[in-house]
Structure 1
């Protein structure tokens, strides 16, 4: 019996689906070639489709139009707005703040992580501590920012493997005082558990291994203004305890933003640590 010919299947090429968004032409023509944040708006007045940032708003937005994978978002878009900033730092801070506040449909969600934790090393012993319990902006001996206890412990396991650290001294397993742990017999522990290495030397090696992820305590007694400027625009980014409160163009307006941060903002910390600690931008103490 002869087989019936299979039905012809329609194949859709992404390029055939993509069409230049003529309905956005007016918005596109208005885009500036400066740093800032841009927003793709759909039918909703409350939830935008996408929020992005760039050192060149116009160039970055136009790159979306050349991406076939983003055709769906372009079809949903009704108009595009933008907010200029004085530089890249301001754009990064504003974008993170707006995404958390507005939760755009096509952005990766940035929410307050109630499980945010760190490794606190006091007297050589690492302990997992949570941002909801202690103030990460001022607590001493913190290393790394992790989304869960499991992630923090995995870091310790990796460090132990890479630096021959003792699971017993790290609190990862129970061991008897003075007796070699199982990993020591395999040559994976340098022997601080059984006297082959001093506990002090072991603890120092742990701190050295963690040094690159040390959480820096907020170095000022109060809020500061991080100064960023470009031709035609100057902004003061108001920061307190690594938390971005907002930006002003006149320092006299800063007091209305001076409020104590309610919680530690890991996103703000990652954006601000370099510019503040390394002195990349001028700082005014408030």
Structure 2
């Protein structure tokens, strides 16, 4: 291991994150056995204008770069000097991915083992206030001249690397970091690999937090650990910035995807995390109405953006509405023509519904057909009932419930087999109240319209006093 060559690298860029970012300056210093054996540095013409804030930070401007070589002209030299080396940088994923992208733009591959001096310093010099290059150099008295220029930053990183080598003479820590085969090699620079290993593989909501513990991104997942790993491996400007600002990750187990979706929506509206895309305003729903046509047949219709005197149900996409109406037709032997599924036909001829009652062909009376519609309306009405939707809990022994108050999400809770829960109204002892929203409405609507074998307990007055046998929950 002592004969390994380390290509310590620093780049300056146009400042566009990762994708679309171009190199404006590069410095590579090769270290072997504790000594510098090779060095290369150059300005680079990025073929694009330098933003003013980058010029203010680095001092590199368009005039300095107009006669500098393009990356295509120095690619062979960068390839040569880093060949058979470990690619080392402070926050290595940034430098490495941009250098690799420059080679990819030339249809060339660039693969090197990577070593991050941020992670290395955290292992060998724990407890520093900050692990940015400038703050580390100040904390442990490393000269750092010409900051935010490739040569100045690279010289400081070389000194820092030599300091780390003195603290790791047997290369135990370096070997550990080089041979990581897990998501730890993709971890954000400020995030501990031990914390990643503790993440659960269960369903729930997770929080990326900044150094002050504030949520900066909230998501939901069936497998929290796997989903977070995928965040680490994504290559985008937005994800790169998120990783740089992440200092810790927290989570909340829910036991099921419905509650995870509801909690994610609720928490985003509560904290407005900076890296979550703003929740778009939910479009006005499709409304299911009914009326008596000129023949006296009670007919269903779907309207969008209209106020109707009778409103039975709402859907947030036309596909959901059509699917539900097809179900009603099959379940109650209704006519597709009078359910908003066909128009401009005298006799229904639906591609899917084959059990029409025949009202469109005068095979049954209007009164008999309207009686079937009435049963369908009774079925629809149950969606606006107050109820508890039963779902899996956070453990095998536990069950969760989602409380719908007149069809609107109003909270959730968890019940264990030893909890005293014998009457419907006792759910309030376990309830965590929640605020509803248009997002929650949509989530609940989709769940109710698509979930097969729905398990729930009605909270109507007729059965308020009915006891709940334990097998409902745990059988």
State the TM-score, normalized to the length of structure 2: 0.38
In structure 2, the partner of 1:37 is 205
Per-residue CA shift, 1:156-214, capped at 9, x if unaligned? xxx9xxxxxxxxxxxxxxxxxxxxxxxxxxxxxxxxxxxxxxxxx9x9277015999xx
Specify which structure has the higher proportion of helix: 2
SS in 2 for 1:227: strand
Residues 1:279 and 2:453 are matched in the alignment: yes
State the TM-score, normalized to the length of structure 1: 0.59
SS in 2 for 1:68: coil
Shift in Å at residue 77 of structure 1?
A: 1.0
Shift in Å at residue 275 of structure 1?
A: 6.0
Residues 1:139 and 2:311 are matched in the alignment: yes
Residues 1:15 and 2:15 are matched in the alignment: no
Tell me if the contact between 1:37 and 1:57 (Cα under 8 Å) persists in the aligned partners: yes
**Which segments of 5 or more consecutive residues in structure 2 lack a partner in the other structure?**
1-64, 73-93, 100-184, 294-300, 323-334, 344-349, 353-378, 416-420, 460-475
SS in 1 for 2:382: coil
Tell me: CA distance 1:262–1:68, structure 2 relative to 1, closer, same or farther (3 Å). closer
In structure 1, the partner of 2:411 is 246
Between the two proteins, the alignment pairs up a number of residues equal to 220
In structure 2, the partner of 1:236 is 401
In structure 2, the partner of 1:102 is 271
Tell me if the contact between 2:254 and 2:260 (Cα under 8 Å) persists in the aligned partners: yes
In structure 1, the partner of 2:389 is 226
Tell me if the contact between 2:209 and 2:216 (Cα under 8 Å) persists in the aligned partners: yes
Question: Partners in 1 of 2:404 and 2:314 — Cα distance?
Answer: 22
Q: 1:204 aligns with which of 321, 334, 337?
A: 337
**Which segments of 5 or more consecutive residues in structure 1 lack a partner in the other structure?**
147-151, 160-200
* Matches for 1:1-286 after TM superposition, within 5 Å: 6-9=67-70, 15-16=97-98, 20-24=187-191, 25-43=193-211, 48-69=215-236, 70-110=239-279, 113=282, 116-119=284-287, 121-123=289-291, 127-129=303-305, 139-140=311-312, 144-145=315-316, 204=337, 207-209=340-342, 217=380, 219=382, 222-229=385-392, 230-250=395-415, 252-254=426-428, 257=431, 265-274=440-449, 278-280=452-454, 282-286=455-459
Tell me: CA distance 1:223–1:98, structure 2 relative to 1, closer, same or farther (3 Å). same
Tell me: CA distance 1:93–1:49, structure 2 relative to 1, closer, same or farther (3 Å). same
